[in-house]
Amino acid sequence: MKKYSAILSVLFAVLFFASCEKDSISDIANRPYATLEGSTVDGAVTRVRFESTDKLVSMPALDENGVPQDYSTTLSASLFGAPLTSDVTVDFEIVDTTGAKLGQEFTLSATQFVIPAGELSGSIDINVNNAEMPLDSVAPFLLKLTAASAGVIDTFFNVNQVRLYKNCLLDYTKFAGNYTNFINGAENAASIVELFDDDDFSQGLLIMQNFWYDDQDSLRLELKDDGTIVSPIGNQFINNQNAYGAYGRIMFEDIEGGLVTNNCTPIFVFTATPTLPDSGYWWGGPFDFMFIKDSKGHVTVKINKPIGKPVKDPRR
């Protein structure tokens, strides 16, 4: 009898705990966020959002004859969480009317984002009417996500600023000239930009100015048809004739980031690492160069360079 009583007690305990566990799972399933499709993230519902809040459209390419064309770019809305089991439609509106105008400078391929079932993002096309784009500025507009058929709109990532450029023929003669420049915010001697064309480089810029020392330095950059600007010979000494005191000549290493971001009114920037290879010293921080020329011929040349004395280069 005791044997049967013990068996019944164990069976009752198993049924009791199973019942409690079932009730617990049922309770979780009845929470409001669990009734939506898709998984949850940190106890929150699946969120609908832009992956970034600032889309800068890079300089569009010309056609095979070098003629400016209309162009398109894409913008995506995405899910933060797991894919859902049915399509998600996402409504949006344009909330800034001071920049590029819908139906004038650009059109959209759809009035909603559609995120297909089983996927994490959906896109629309932004078609740019190149002839209507302003010449000397970037035309932005703001797109705001307003509602979704599943999940909730992420209020921290629901607005995207889209910046569009006009597409023009690349005219490198617009770079040439003598310009006032600013180094670390202080006005400096003139920056002279000349064009060069020789057997090695079909088109290039020769920049002559006081990059660092009191004497005029020079730097050569090669211009590519796709709008990129590169160092044609890798690392370059910028002051072969006049050394930087007892430290020797200054070399710009790792010259990169050169890109014409507006080929109608040229803008280009590049960065470099300034070193003193003759003595094994360097500044460590980056050297930044920015050239901006507007349609009226006004130019800003800004340079930010590391301050203080050079230190021993740990790489050597």
pLDDT of amino acid 20: 39
If asked whether residues 178 and 307 sit together in one domain, one would say yes
The residue from 164, 185, 215 where one domain ends is: 164
Q: Are residues 183 and 269 in the same domain?
A: yes
Are residues 153 and 191 both part of a single domain? no
Q: Give the residue numbers spanning the domain of 106.
A: 47-164
Are 55 and 157 members of one domain? yes
| Three state DSSP letters for 218-275 | EEEEEECCCCEEECCCCCEECCCCCCCHHHCCCEEEEEEEEEECCCCCCEEEEEEEEE
- Same domain for 213 and 120: no
Q: Do 60 and 128 belong together in one domain?
A: yes
Same domain (yes/no): 145, 200: no
Domain boundary among 111, 130, 164: 164
Same domain, yes or no: 184 and 293: yes
Closest listed residue to residue 247, CA positions, set 218, 216, 278, 272:
278
Residues 195 and 296 in one domain: yes
- What per-residue confidence (pLDDT) applies to 138? 67
Residue 84 lies in a domain: yes
Residue 107 lies in a domain: yes
> What is the full per-residue pLDDT of the chain (316 aa) written as tens digits?
544 454 445 344 434 334 333 322 222 222 222 222 333 444 457 899 998 888 867 656 666 666 777 888 889 999 988 888 999 999 999 987 677 888 988 999 999 999 999 999 999 999 988 888 876 556 788 999 999 999 899 989 999 988 887 777 767 777 888 888 888 888 888 888 888 877 766 678 888 888 876 667 888 888 776 667 888 888 999 887 777 888 888 999 998 877 676 667 677 888 999 999 999 999 988 899 988 776 666 778 888 999 888 999 998 7
**HEC-encoded secondary structure of 21-39:** HHHHHHHHHCCHHHHCCCC
Task: Give me the number of domains the chain comprises.
Answer: 2
Within a domain: 16: no
Q: What pLDDT score was predicted for residue 201?
A: 65
Last residue of a domain, one of 142, 164, 186: 164
pTM for the whole thing?
Answer: 0.55
